[in-house]
Amino acid sequence: MGAPIEQDELLKHLVDALYLCIVIDAGDIVRYISQAYANILESDRENIIGKDVRAVIPNTKLPEVVKSGKPIPGEIFIMHNGEATICNRFPILGEDGTVQGAFSTATFQNLDLVERLSEELKHLRMENKIYQKQLGSLTRTPFTLDFVIGGSSSIQQLKEEIGMVANTDLTVLITGETGVGKEIFANALHQLSGRKSGPYIKVNCAAIPKDLLEAELFGYSEGAFSGAAKGGKAGKFEQANHGTILLDEIGDLSLDLQSKLLRVLQEREVERIGGLKTKKLDFRVICNTNQNLDEMAARGDFRQDLYYRINVIELFLPPLRERLEDLPALCRFFIDKINRNHGCMVSGISDRMLEIFQKYSWPGNVRELEHVLERAAVLSPSGVLEPEDFRFFLPRAFQSGDTLSSDSLQDQKRKAESDAIRSALLKTGGNKTKASQLLHIPRSLLYEKIKRYHIE
Ligand SMILES: Nc1ncnc2c1ncn2[C@@H]1O[C@H](COP(=O)(O)OP(=O)(O)OP(=O)(O)O)[C@@H](O)[C@H]1O
């Protein structure tokens, strides 16, 4: 134990810490004064201590406190230099209750500061409220089917399917072009599942450099490589334990990692890089891709066995140009969102402009629509959006390559395929076994394509 602190020293420190503080004894003589207070009085402490307090601060109320033995808290006190302070005065009572002196403190030097701080506090509280609200809507936005806009039969059907598979642990592969909404469907799938209170871990296989992806997915143990963190690091699969892992852009995974992934999916256990032990895990897998994994597998760019393992349930999101009836609702949804996010007051989009939208092929799908509306709304932040507000977009919309009149090769292939299936079904009176024989494809593939093209 160190030496006891001298009472006087302690008092001196406390008085100084209280900023503006003065202590008098029962005879109204100043016994202590803080340095800050002495500075304001433009005098040395030595000069002040020992004097009658009234000689130092003419309008002081400390002698009143000594006389009455009662505190005078929270009073505005104008100091000799005209500055206002909020002053608290207290009696110092002995053990027998007799008054031995009094002291006053004033923490804030001027009321302007108090006012300013109180204003700032009010402002911060308001800001905090707004952020809390925004945070609430941000965490809600991507997660429920209510936020997946679209009344088209394909979107309605997908919503139903999501509802049906959500509560199973089946692996789901969500396919569709870029920007069609694969990620929001994946989010909804997790949120509707029994795993919603567990972690939801997303990995974009295309965004992480190939040589880092392995460690990112499977983790590493201490000393696995130079620079490996102490204690190692859990990979995304470990982080997703008891929850869901979304492998976005799965088609970008190298063949090496595909093999490792296949093992993890089969065994449901991971081994960290450089680790000696495996760990059993419980996770649900959702994969997203805008590539044709079927074709990739045929070319040898994607492992056939992995393709079968992840393609237990395939949900195909048709491109926007195949569900143009969703355009008005999507426009309304995005205009509301843009108004909220950018403080715009756009009331809608004109029929003339919607007609132009209907003729465009939307290669970037819903994401492109959102960006086009955002740009127009920023340029023309109120009223109804007219073609004039989309000058940046019109040349694109009218370029022959991007209008619906000339379909891409992929669209034409899809159309030819769905026409061939329709005609085979017509010829066989709807008998799928016979239709699949006619088309020389397995029955399961026919079912898949019927579902994909929403035939029937
Ligand atoms: N049906 C929809 N309702 C509301 N917003 C949608 C819908 N579809 C897409 N969006 C919005 O469009 C944008 C793109 O969607 P998302 O990221 O889900 O596409 P994606 O298919 O995963 O694209 P990519 O393959 O490029 O990653 C997002 O801002 C998303 O919120």
Question: Is there a single domain that holds both residue 171 and residue 258?
Answer: yes
Task: State how beta strands 243-248 and 283-289 pair.
Answer: parallel
Pairing outcome for strands 99-106 and 219-220: unpaired
| Co-location of 265 and 331 in the same domain | no
DSSP per residue, 123-149: HHHHHHHHHHHHHHHHHHGGGSGGGS-
What domain range includes position 211?
Answer: 144-318
pLDDT in tens, 255-289: 999 999 999 999 999 999 988 889 999 999 999 99
What's the rounded Cα separation, in Å, for the pair 137 and 121? 24
Same-domain status, 44 and 178: no
Q: Amino acid identity, residue 47?
A: N
Is residue 234 over pLDDT 50? Answer: yes
- CATH number for the domain harbouring residue 437: 1.10.10
Task: Please state the atom number of ligand 1 nearest to the C-alpha of residue 150.
Answer: 1
- Rounded to the nearest whole angstrom, what is the distance from the C-alpha of residue 185 to the centroid of ligand 1? 8
Residue 371 Cβ < 6 Å to ligand 1: no
Choice from 177, 334, 367, 368 to test ligand 1 binding pocket (greatest atom count within 8 A of CB): 367
Q: Which atom of ligand 1 is nearest to the CA of 186?
A: 18
- Which residue has the CA at smallest separation from atom 16 of ligand 1? 181
* Residue to probe by mutation, ligand 1, list 147, 159, 180, 369, most atoms within 8 Å of CB: 180
Q: Is the CB of 179 under 6 A from ligand 1?
A: yes
Domain limit, last residue, from 362, 386, 402: 402
Characterize 11-48 residue by residue with b for buried, 16 or more Cβ atoms within 10 angstroms of its Cβ, and e for exposed. Answer: eeeebeebbbbbbbbeebebbbbbebbbebbeeebeeb
Residue with more model confidence, 110 or 405: 110
Q: E strands along 304-379, which residues?
A: 313-316, 345-349
The ipTM is 0.98
Banded pLDDT at 429 (limits 50, 70, 90): confident
Domain contains 273: yes
260 within domain boundaries: yes
User: Beta strand pairing status for 72-78 and 30-33?
Assistant: unpaired
Residues 100 and 171 in one domain: no
Do 171 and 305 reside in the same domain of the chain? Answer: yes
Q: Which of 251, 285, 318 is the endpoint of a domain?
A: 318
Is residue 382 a part of any domain in this protein?
yes
pLDDT at residue 140 in the model: 46
Report the domain count for the chain. 4
The model's pLDDT over 59-102, given as tens digits with 9 standing for 90+, comes to 899 999 999 999 998 777 777 666 667 788 999 998 888 999 99
> Does a structural domain hold residue 118?
no
Residue 120 belongs to a domain: no
- The answer as to whether 442 is a domain residue is yes
Q: What pLDDT score was predicted for residue 138?
A: 53
348 CA to centre of ligand 1 in angstroms: 21
Q: Which residue has the tokens 């002053």?
A: 87
